[in-house]
Amino acid sequence: MRDDHYLPIPLLFQKTIINLYGEKGQVWLENLPSIIDHLSHRHHLQNLTVVNNLSYNLVLKGWQDKTPIVLKIGLDKKALHQEAAALKAFAGNGAISLLTAEDGLLILEQAIPGTSLKSFFPQNDRDAIEIACTTMQKLYQAKVGDKNFPHISDWLRLLYTYNADGDNQFLQAHQQRASRLTDKLLSSIQQTMLLHGDLHHDNILNYQGKWLAIDPKGVAGEPAYEIAAFIRNPIPQLYAHPNFEKFIKERILLFSQLLEIPPQRIQEWCYVQSILCWIWSLQDKGNPAPYQQFANFCAQLIRVSS
């Protein structure tokens, strides 16, 4: 990718895009300066800067005329379309507002000051959980609507179909157990809601004294499923903490109390999700170690509680 003094693109993000998309990703990265220039002129955007902690989309902060905005562009147009649909359904109730949605492009309201719940860890973990629960309860007022949203069962199908390497018998054993548990959990869901789908600390931001969710995946399921993403984060800080296990146990109990969900169901979804994230990480050529560590501990919790 050519040097661009105006918008330097982090090398780690470039590597992620190339790992995921190969030559298509390389071409997209090379064309980014002209893409951003075109979008800036078309949508009257100024003073764009790249945000920290990029994942699979390029996210920039800036201004649209006199309005502070966030511009998100990426190659996974389907995921961006799904995010736009979720934000429209949430309608600003517990989530950031969507200003513009086009093919492969979102322009969003910018949260100011934009401090995330990650800043609460580890000293104010209880406060962070209470805020997360309040945010969830606001989001769950949205309607699943015409059922164009995927169901968590669509995501979890990977547990049954993924073929681990022959020497990774440890993951294979976890897959078998998680698959059986998934069958039980899916068959006993009592209430389906539109979930955020990835509601961890970095996806809940302070916006002028309110806490709003960003980056929703938009998936139908039950609230107990949603909780697991928050419990296993922030990565890697949680996993390096000497009280790692204590944090997880206390979080499960507090979420159970605040949302009136049996702790065992939360534990089981935590375990199932850890295996799913482990597989996703392998597919994306990422680091599966945190998910493996979380899976091992959740497996112990399930044995103790069963």
pLDDT one-digit tens code per residue, 211-255:
999 999 999 999 999 999 999 999 999 999 999 999 999 999 999
251-285: pLDDT as tens digits: 999 999 999 999 999 999 999 999 999 999 999 88
pLDDT confidence of residue 276: 97
- Asked if pLDDT for residue 5 goes beyond 60, the answer is no
The pLDDT of residue 7: 81
What share of the chain has pLDDT > 70, as a percent? 96
Asked if residues 117 and 127 have their Cβ atoms less than 8 Å apart, the reply is: no
Q: Does the N-terminal peptide bond of residue 122 adopt cis geometry, omega within 30 degrees of 0?
A: yes
In the numeric block, the tokens 């502070």 are attached to: 68
pTM of the model: 0.94
What CATH topology corresponds to 115-305? Aminoglycoside 3'-phosphotransferase; Chain: A, domain 2 (3.90.1200)
| Residues 3-13, mean pLDDT to the nearest whole number | 75
**Residue 286 pLDDT grade (very low, low, confident, very high; cuts 50, 70, 90):** confident
Contact by Cβ (8 Å): 70, 101: no
Q: Can you tell me which residue has the tokens 């330097």?
A: 8
| Burial track 255-288 (b if 16+ CB lie within 10 A, e otherwise) | bbebbebebebbbbbbbbbbbbbbbebbeeebeb
Counting every residue, how long is the chain? 306
CA separation (Å) from 126 to 84, 232, 253, 293?
A: 31, 15, 11, 23
9, 102, 199, 269, 277 from 229: Cα distances, Å? 28, 28, 6, 10, 10
From CA 127, how far away is CA 89, in angstroms rounded? Answer: 27
Quick check: 267 and 253 in contact, CB under 8 A? no
Place 6 in a pLDDT band, splitting at 50, 70 and 90: low
Place of tokens 């960003």: 214
Please, what sign has the CA dihedral across residues 57, 83, 254, 138?
Answer: positive
- Does residue 230 contact residue 200 with C-beta atoms inside 8 Å? yes
Reply yes or no: is the peptide bond before residue 234 cis, omega within 30 of 0.
yes
Angle (nearest 5°) at CA 230 between 226 and 233: 145
Nearest to 273 by CA among 252, 254, 247, 258: 252
Which tens digit of pLDDT belongs to each residue from 172-205? 999 999 999 999 999 999 999 999 999 999 999 9
- Measured between alpha carbons, how far is 185 from 166 in angstroms, rounded to an integer? 28
- Say what the pLDDT of residue 165 is: 76
Residue 167: per-residue pLDDT? 60
Interacting residues of 197 by C-beta distance below 8 A, sequence separation 6+: 86, 216, 217, 218, 219, 226, 229
Peptide bond into 150 cis (omega under 30): no
Question: Which CATH architecture is the domain 11-113 placed in?
Answer: 2-Layer Sandwich (3.30)
Positions of CATH 3.30.200.20 in the chain: 11-113
| Cα distance between residue 185 and residue 36, in whole Å | 44
Helices (H), the chain: 11-21, 23-43, 77-90, 125-139, 152-156, 158-161, 169-187, 223-231, 237-240, 244-259, 263-283, 289-305
Domain with CATH 3.90.1200.10 in the chain: 115-305
Q: Which two tokens stand for residue 31?
A: 């064309």
Is it true that the peptide bond before 216 is cis, omega within 30 degrees of 0?
no
